[in-house]
Structure 1
Amino acid sequence: MDQRPVRVAVVGSGPSGIYAAEALTRQCDVPVEVDVLDRLPTPFGLVRYGVAPDHLSIRGIRETLWRLLRDPAVRFLGNVELGTDLTVDELRRHVDAVVYTFGAARDRRLGIPGEDLPGSLAATDVVAWYCGHPDVDREPVEEALRAVRSAVVVGVGNVALDVGRVLARCGALHHTDMPQHVLSALAGCPVRDIHLLGRRAPAHAAFTTKELRELGKLDGVAVHVDPDDLAPHPATDALLAADRAAARNVEVLRGWAANPDGVGRPTGVHLRFFTRPVEILGTDRVEGVLTERTALTPDGTLVGTGEQAVIEAQLVVRSVGYRGVPLPGLPFDASAGVVPHDRGRVVRDDAPAPGEYVAGWIKRGPTGVIGTNKSDAHETVDTLLADAAAGTLPRTARPDREALTALLADRGVRVFSLDDWRTIDAAEIALGESLGRARTTVATRADLLDAVRAADPHSRQRIG
């Protein structure tokens, strides 16, 4: 019987990846060594680069993830991009199993005319910008914000709410860890109206009630809801009777519709249901959105009414979902945007691939909340451990554990370790204190490397 520890590579250091590492190291039946790889120099994935910075309690889960990464059996290998710095086959030769948890990074498009005009942006890019993602293109976002008086956010999920809320409170975010250039751009943003568009009924909106209620607590912000959007309908009445979360959302919306109050509140957030975008208008940049009023038939089918209207806008943000992207060397279901699997086992050519697994959004699609990733990752790890117990993992000859980092070093890849993250963490706290804040995110790869280099002058100079 092979007595060596099972060596596992986890690709992705967001919640799914770190929860997978936790499940592997907390069990006692199989000795393991875990390498957590991420294409970014920093860990935590969407907890760092996707959760809105003003959601301090949710972002606080980083402390839990940070604690889990510190397990002695776990190594963090940041700034390593699978498919570029290292192929899937090369990684497989260094480990017994791989758990892919690289998420769903691409936005869904609207598929309407004008979508590519300057000022039309994906929520994924806007969120990455205000969270300080090192790979985001800042200029399209910041240029759009300079002259925006009215913004349209297409979507009624939590990400759409986040974008709308950040725009609505753009001058009151100093308490967050947003990069300083983001705070400056938001503070100078002249936006006064934010329209969130949902093509179906309020009962069908995907946001959570807690996030929805936050809109009504923002200083200087009035929330507007059309009472006609809340009219009874057989299809939505049945949904509200069966879905308590939807019923709570509608109750909040009814409160705002019944008690409109914009006095002394210069910024308006308009929640517009039964409204779908038909075209983004403009010649050289976004000038407005042509919309069509929709309706539900008695059986709940959504139809267009032909009634059209134009919303003035200088910024349009599409927030209609995320999609997974294929990784070279890994099978991919393009229609679903996921890696095909059977209870977490990657499926190649209609059969489970020994030693390959998936967890998180690339496994199930972009659904659930952060906590959902824990049970999802544990299911995958249970499958992996069952395969280890059954002897079906490919426990063939493999290089020494250090061979993987040596290979990357030979290719000029500057691998960021957990010690490097400690240094970056301290640098962000120090930067924040220098600006009168608790913390300020370091937002570029060059600055992240500079922070590490400043603490260790002998650090290798090149980012791969």
Structure 2
Amino acid sequence: RTSQLRDIWLLGRRGPLQAAFSPAELREFLELAEADVIVEKNELELDAESQKILENNVNNDTKKNIEILKKISEKEVSGKKRRVHIIFLTSPVEISGNQKVEKISMVRNQLVKMEDGSLVPQASAEINEAAAGLVFRSIGYYGKPLSDLPFDQKTGTIPNECGQVKDSEEGNILREREYVAGWIKRGPSGVIGTNKQDAVETVHRMLGTFLKGKMEAGKNCTNLDIVSLLENRKVEYVSFSDWKLLDAHETEAGQKKGRPRVKITSKADMLSVIRQKKQLKIQ
């Protein structure tokens, strides 16, 4: 709230139809208390190929994104102290200044259709310059492959069906007892709530597979006591009762500041709080 930032420009190298954000993420821009969000109507003008895709071959999330962007473009600026400008088909090409960021040069892109039918951004001859004092790069998340697991190099995800890992090179055979959730499952999109739904889907598939196969809990396991196993390996684990100590600490800290909680984000700090709380219980 004390920041001196007044204008924030979000640049996307591709068009609005190719934007990777989810409707849930985009809707949050409509709820910013201290900033107007601005999308010029010309930014939503689609090229012929993108228009064809929108009309014939696009998923519901993309349609919702376009609808929300149109809603933003029609919304009047209310005079809030900050403005967020969303710009498509634009890439930064040079950042300049004397010992600090002072100016940024940007190129206007155009979408070019490739042999496989995909549309990729290609720089045009149009260059624009603008004053700038701070630049952040956000190039997205790309998953890393794990040994003995299939991996989709194009999407950076582990191929799966509702969270159950599948071998796409082996006729999409589903692997038993191998599951994924989160960004490595679906790619970098969504908000915290999306991850919860994502995890629920995976757990449902796990339970369904468990029941369908009539698997017995602990069958073929050489060590039934996970706590003993972790202790033998000198792993500092967190039990549910330990987590409840951390949860109580965060909630109590939040109440003192009129907030639901004060979240501890460092793993080392989390473990330190749990150790202290457990020690107090012993005393």
Deviation of 1:226 after TM superposition, in Å, equals: 2.4
Contact 2:20 2:189 in 1 (8 A): no
Give the structure 2 partner of residue 224 of structure 1.
Answer: 38
Give the structure 1 partner of residue 205 of structure 2.
Answer: 379
Structure 2 CA distance for partners of 1:297 and 1:323, relative to 1, 3 Å: closer
Structure 2 CA distance for partners of 1:386 and 1:316, relative to 1, 3 Å: farther
Q: Please state if 1:290 is matched with 2:105.
A: yes
Deviation of 1:307 after TM superposition, in Å, equals: 0.9
Partner amino acid for 1:333? F
* 1:457 counterpart SS class: helix
Q: TM-score, normalised by structure 2?
A: 0.72
Deviation of 1:270 after TM superposition, in Å, equals: 0.4
Q: Please state if 1:324 is matched with 2:177.
A: no
Contact 1:428 1:442 in 2 (8 A): yes
Give the structure 1 partner of residue 164 of structure 2.
Answer: 344
Deviation of 1:229 after TM superposition, in Å, equals: 1.7
Deviation of 1:439 after TM superposition, in Å, equals: 1.3
5 Å-filtered alignment, 1:54-453, equals: 171=1, 187=2, 189-231=3-45, 233-242=47-56, 243=58, 245-258=61-74, 260-261=76-77, 264-281=79-96, 286-296=101-111, 302-327=121-146, 330-331=148-149, 333=151, 335-336=153-154, 337-339=156-158, 344-345=164-165, 356-360=177-181, 361-366=183-188, 369-370=194-195, 371-383=197-209, 386=212, 389=215, 395-396=219-220, 398-401=222-225, 402-408=227-233, 411=234, 413-453=235-275
Bigger mean CA deviation after superposition, 204-213 or 217-226:
204-213
Distance (whole Å) between structure 2 residues aligned to residue 286 and residue 459 of structure 1: 52
* 1:437 counterpart SS class: coil
Deviation of 1:221 after TM superposition, in Å, equals: 1.8
Distance (whole Å) between structure 2 residues aligned to residue 297 and residue 417 of structure 1: 53
Q: TM-score, normalised by structure 1?
A: 0.47
Distance (whole Å) between structure 2 residues aligned to residue 355 and residue 385 of structure 1: 13
1:76-116 Cα deviation digits (max 9, x unpaired): xxxxxxxxxxxxxxxxxxxxxxxxxxxxxxxxxxxxxxxxx
Deviation of 1:416 after TM superposition, in Å, equals: 1.4
Distance (whole Å) between structure 2 residues aligned to residue 388 and residue 236 of structure 1: 48
State which of 271, 278, 283 in structure 2 corresponds to 1:456: 278
Contact 1:345 1:383 in 2 (8 A): no
Query: How many aligned positions are there?
Result: 266
Bigger mean CA deviation after superposition, 436-445 or 371-380:
371-380
Structure 2 CA distance for partners of 1:395 and 1:376, relative to 1, 3 Å: closer
Contact 2:36 2:80 in 1 (8 A): yes
Give unpaired runs (5+ residues) of structure 1. Answer: 1-170, 172-186
Partner amino acid for 1:419? S
Q: CA RMSD in A?
A: 4.0
Partner amino acid for 2:265? A
Percent of aligned positions with the same letter in both sequences? 29
Task: Select the structure with the greater relative contact order (CA < 8 A; seq sep ≥ 6).
Answer: 1
